[in-house]
């Protein structure tokens, strides 16, 4: 658009943009049209003399590369200053209409892309724990788990499915297989209902045995639940509730099934899924406040003692979370572990609750080994006798287990005394020490807690 004359209002910065030479010439013409006498002097812009003769520099005001005669009327001076400031504001990087339009269009484009993305996300419509087509296929192929068979048909050649007990199983993605059909996907509310069923009716059942089979069934069905959540990109409270119970179940299983044969329980696979679920859960916590956030931040730190990544994540948490009692205790345990202070770590471990002790238990073997090594160097003397019962208390073990642990590390035990020697300390043979045999510290805390109350967090 054409710039206005001097007696008109100046256009907005976004409408003016860069002030070019033709704009200044137009202003000069507007000044002349006002009939300003030449005796008012003149001003120079970019080497051009406007409205009269060039004034003497001694009685002119310099305005950043252009000088303005002081005799020029105040109206003209003010217009020039405004135009000059507009030109320099553009050079300082302030937005003009083109930049504003580009920024606006980018925002609109992002909104459109987000709407398209939301429209492309499949939404489940299956209101049962297992899609009807899968139920029929597995029943016809005799692939039902015994926990899913209708009561009274177990001994039949083709057991029938219990519609209220069949749960969708995990299926690996395969070429040509559509896993995004809405009829095969369960909405978030149904997924949460499925998790409650798995916890209350399967994992916490006092009649279903052995627990390794219970674990295998629940583990697979929880994996299927997470798969449905990933496909539908579920978030919010339902997602957090599912992940919290998944993490508790996997932590509890890592303690309860510790020492089981590899064909029945693989700790590496359990650890992989636990780390993935925990990482996903902690990411969900960044979207807002959640009542159980401190609990799971502490569990993540205790489970990953010695991990620089876990420690850094904890240090980046808000002060209100880090200063909570549960996080303060977990940080103290982590610091004792990093400083290789097993005595302090085991002392602090007595203050942990049951599930926190389950998360810590896989580090106890290393902690006790370090304690015996330190004592073997610090009390290495033939004339030094360390009371066995006192060492038992420090290790948080009973006396027979303390005796067994000392002998496995080459530490001599004479009656009620222990003789430490740095020359006799040895590493135990592979498989000689079973972690499951040294769970006293954790076992004492379970007391009357049920599996359901542990996984639901009602301890």
Q: What is the pLDDT of residue 429?
A: 81
CB neighbours (10 Å) of residue 239?
Answer: 21
CA 296 to chain centre: 11
| Cis check: omega of the bond before 97, within 30 degrees of 0 | no
What is the 8-class DSSP label of residue 12? P
Q: How confident is the model at residue 33 (pLDDT cuts 50, 70, 90)?
A: low
CATH no. for 364-456: 1.10.10
- Residue range 137-165: mean pLDDT, rounded: 95
- Give the pLDDT confidence of 418-445 residue by residue, as tens digits: 999 999 999 988 767 778 778 888 999 9
d(CA 191, CA 187): 6
pTM score, two decimals?
A: 0.74
Helix (H) or strand (E) holding 271: helix 267-284
> DSSP letter string over 152-197?
T-TTSSSPPB-TTT--PPP----TT-----GGG---HHHHHHHHHH
CA 388/CA 369 separation, integer angstroms:
16
- pLDDT value, residue 102: 72
Higher pLDDT, 309 or 70: 309
> What does the block give as tokens for 303?
């489970």
Domain edges within the chain: 13-97, 123-282, 291-339, 364-456
Long-range contacts of 198-204 (CB under 8 A, 24+ apart): 198/167, 198/222, 199/245, 199/249, 199/451, 199/452, 199/455, 199/456, 200/452, 201/165, 202/147, 203/249, 203/451, 203/452, 203/455, 204/450, 204/451, 204/452, 204/455
The values of phi and psi at residue 159, to 5°, are: -60, 145
Position 27 pLDDT exceeds 70: no
Asked which of 98-107, 112-121, 340-349 is least confident by mean pLDDT, the reply is 112-121
Q: Which stretch of 23-32, 183-192, 200-209, 373-382 has the lowest confidence by average pLDDT?
A: 23-32
């Amino acid at each position: 658009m054409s710039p206005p004359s001097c007696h008109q209002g100046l256009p907005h910065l976004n409408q003016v943009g860069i002030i070019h030479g033709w704009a200044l010439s137009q202003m000069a013409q507007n000044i002349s049209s006002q009939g300003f006498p030449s005796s008012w002097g003149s001003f120079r812009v970019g080497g051009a003399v406007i409205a009269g003769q060039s004034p003497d520099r001694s009685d002119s005001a310099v305005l950043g590369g252009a000088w303005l005669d002081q005799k020029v009327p105040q109206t003209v001076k003010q217009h020039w200053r405004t135009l000059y400031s507009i030109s320099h504001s553009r050079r300082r990087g302030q937005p003009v209409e083109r930049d504003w339009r580009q920024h606006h269009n980018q925002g609109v484009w992002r909104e459109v892309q987000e709407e398209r993305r939301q429209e492309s996300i499949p939404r489940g419509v299956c209101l049962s724990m297992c899609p009807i087509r899968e139920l029929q296929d597995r029943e016809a192929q005799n692939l039902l788990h015994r926990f899913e068979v209708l009561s009274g048909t177990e001994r039949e050649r083709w057991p029938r499915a219990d519609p209220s007990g069949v749960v969708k199983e995990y299926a690996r993605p395969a070429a040509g297989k559509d896993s995004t059909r809405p009829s095969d996907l369960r909405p978030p509310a149904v997924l949460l209902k499925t998790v409650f069923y798995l916890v209350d009716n399967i994992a916490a059942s006092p009649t279903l045995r052995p627990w390794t089979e219970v674990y295998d069934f629940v583990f697979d069905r929880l994996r299927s639940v997470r798969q449905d959540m990933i496909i539908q990109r579920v978030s919010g409270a339902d997602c957090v509730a599912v992940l919290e119970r998944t993490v508790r179940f996997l932590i509890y299983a890592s303690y309860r099934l510790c020492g089981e044969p590899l064909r029945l329980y693989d700790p590496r696979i359990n650890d992989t899924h636990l780390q993935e679920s925990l990482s996903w859960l902690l990411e969900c916590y960044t979207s807002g406040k959640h009542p159980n956030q401190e609990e799971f931040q502490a569990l993540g730190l205790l489970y990953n003692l010695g991990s620089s990544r876990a420690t850094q994540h904890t240090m980046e948490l808000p002060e209100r979370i880090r200063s909570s009692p549960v996080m303060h205790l977990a940080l103290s345990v982590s610091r004792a572990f990093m400083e290789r202070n097993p005595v302090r770590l085991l002392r602090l471990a007595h203050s942990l609750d049951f599930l926190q002790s389950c998360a810590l238990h896989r580090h106890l073997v290393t902690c006790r080994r370090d304690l015996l090594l330190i004592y073997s160097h610090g009390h290495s003397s033939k004339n030094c006798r360390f009371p066995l019962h006192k060492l038992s208390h420090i290790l948080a073990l009973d006396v027979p287990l303390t005796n067994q642990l000392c002998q496995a590390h080459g530490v001599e035990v004479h009656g009620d005394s222990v003789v430490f020697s740095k020359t006799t300390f040895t590493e135990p043979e592979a498989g000689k020490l079973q972690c499951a045999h040294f769970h006293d510290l954790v076992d004492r805390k379970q007391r009357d807690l049920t599996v359901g109350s542990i996984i639901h967090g009602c301890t």
